[in-house]
Amino acid sequence: MQSTSREDQGRLHRCSFGHYFRVRRFTRLTNGFSKKWENLNYMLAIFFVFYNFCRRHKTLNGATPAMAANLSKSFWTLKDILQA
């Protein structure tokens, strides 16, 4: 098995921490914890749409991942998500 460098481990940990920090439904410490798989799936779908189409990313010079992949030309709003 190939050993992972400390830098790679740090990146992976940071990515996981950022994801779980934003998605509090994974922790039992909040009232928003999803007890049903169906509710968790709906919440994850909303989160990923927001993360990829609405949220500006500093590493992409203020663009969204969807804009970087040429899937969208502008930032989506809540109205755009509800109409999609």
Clarify whether residues 50 and 84 are in a common domain.
yes
The DSSP letter of residue 36 is S
Query: Are 57 and 84 part of one and the same domain?
Result: yes
The predicted structure's pLDDT at residue 40? 76
**Which distant-in-sequence residues (6+ apart) come within 8 Å of 66 by Cβ?**
52, 53, 72, 76
For residue 10, is pLDDT > 70?
no
Cα within 13 Å of Cα(44), Cβ side: 10
pLDDT, tens digit (0-9, with 9 covering 90-100), for 15-60: 666 666 666 666 666 666 667 788 778 878 888 888 889 988 888 8
pTM of the model: 0.60
Domain total of the chain: 2
**pLDDT value of position 39:** 78
| Statement to judge: residues 43 and 80 lie in one domain | yes
Rounded to a whole number, what is the distance in angstroms from the first to the last CA of the chain? 44
pLDDT score recorded for residue 1: 46
Instruction: Give me the pLDDT at residue 6, please.
Output: 63
Q: How confident is the model at residue 70 (pLDDT cuts 50, 70, 90)?
A: very high
Answer whether 76's CB lies under 8 Å from 54's CB.
yes
Owning domain of residue 2: 1-33
